Amino acid sequence: MDEDLRIGNLFGGDAAGGLFDVPRGEPGVVGDADIVVMGAATATPYASVGAYCANGPTAIRGAVGWPGMGEHHDFDLGGTLLDGATAVDWGDLPISDTEFPANRELIESHIRTVLDGGAVPILLGGDDSIPIPTLAAYDNHGPVTVLQLDAHIDWRDEVQGERFGLSSNMRRASEMPWVKHIVQVGARGSGSARPADVADAIGWGVDLFPMRSIRQGGMQQVLDAIPDDANVYLALDIDALDPSVVPGVIGPAPGGFDYGTVSDLFEAVASKARLVGFNLAEFAPSADVGNRGALVAARLAATVMGLIARQRT
């Protein structure tokens, strides 16, 4: 890709601030922010593959952004990005390559600080182990409905002896008393789940909408599964999108969503429920093509940020 052929160069180069040029802020200081952005390279990587999404936050922040971007009209949101709300970017948490319990504590404590400060967290990953410590921070901020978009259901109890890895996030979430409801959308192909894992998810009470059921029954059934005024935590594994849209993932599965379908779903969810948190996981820049997936990931983050902002103003 021609590094000079960037829209930001029309407007003065890359943003000096954080994601979408929102101000950078001191980690741990919420202030009057409505939204706090942070990045995490991983929480609990598997030994077999390591932290393959470690560069995700940097790539997503770099995908789109220019000085003063927040003053421009965003046609996906029908106004400026934040519509009068305020956001701050704490940068990337100091994640360790080896100390995984410490990583989880670090993520959980920073998310808890955001919630206790009355703001809504946006966490850029990082592999899909990041929702586990993130959701743990909602113990005094529930009840929570988790809306997970993913090609995989992530209901393994353990993989290679690790219980906090990316294939276990929804099972760990189901064990948190404040997680009252889980809606999972987009499963397709074959991943870590075995038949018993699927049975456990359904037995727990997950509203499970594999991609086949979305094609046959549409998206309204997903919206109907989310109670009015629920506190919705959005857990987005970017492999929910089609590999032609986001090539940079470790588990590509044909038949995924396009950008607009996911963006419209988020807008519809925000019209009936409160968005209380968002994480974007599994974007692997090393497997991206021409920054195509990074841009899609960033734009979905912008959509969610704008929707949260509109619930705050």
Could you say whether residue 127 binds Mn ion (CB under 5 A)?
no
- Closer Cβ to Mn ion, 152 or 156, answer by number: 152
Supply the minimum distance, in Å, between the C-beta of residue 168 and Mn ion: 12
Tokens of 78: 């029908």
Tokens of 123: 């966490």
Supply the minimum distance, in Å, between the C-beta of residue 59 and Mn ion: 18
Selected binder of Mn ion within 21, 92, 207, 239 (CB under 5 A): 239
Taking CB under 5 A as the binding criterion, the range among 43-51, 110-118, 144-152, 302-310 that sits at the site for Mn ion is 144-152
The number of residues that bind Mn ion (CB under 5 A) is 5
**Cβ proximity of 134 and 276 under 8 Å:** no
| C-alpha separations of 47 from 33, 103, 151, 160, 162 in Å | 37, 15, 22, 8, 9
Cβ count near 24 (within 10 Å): 15
Supply the minimum distance, in Å, between the C-beta of residue 3 and Mn ion: 30
Supply the minimum distance, in Å, between the C-beta of residue 122 and Mn ion: 19
Taking CB under 5 A as the binding criterion, the range among 15-23, 51-59, 210-218, 238-246 that sits at the site for Mn ion is 238-246
Q: Residues 295, 313, 71, 36: is their CA dihedral positive or negative? A: negative
Selected binder of Mn ion within 34, 89, 197, 237 (CB under 5 A): 237
- Closer Cβ to Mn ion, 64 or 240, answer by number: 240
- Closer Cβ to Mn ion, 72 or 194, answer by number: 194
- Closer Cβ to Mn ion, 48 or 220, answer by number: 48
Residue carrying structure tokens 């995989």: 152
Taking CB under 5 A as the binding criterion, the range among 143-151, 157-165, 181-189, 265-273 that sits at the site for Mn ion is 143-151
- Closer Cβ to Mn ion, 67 or 247, answer by number: 247
- Closer Cβ to Mn ion, 89 or 150, answer by number: 150
Taking CB under 5 A as the binding criterion, the range among 65-73, 235-243, 264-272, 302-310 that sits at the site for Mn ion is 235-243
Could you say whether residue 152 binds Mn ion (CB under 5 A)?
yes
Could you say whether residue 197 binds Mn ion (CB under 5 A)?
no
- Closer Cβ to Mn ion, 8 or 255, answer by number: 255
Supply the minimum distance, in Å, between the C-beta of residue 88 and Mn ion: 29
Supply the minimum distance, in Å, between the C-beta of residue 70 and Mn ion: 31
| C-alpha separations of 220 from 114, 208, 262, 268 in Å | 32, 14, 13, 9
| Interactions with Mn ion, residue window 6-35 (CB under 5 A) | none
Residues lying near Mn ion in the complex (CB under 5 A) are found at: 150-152, 237, 239
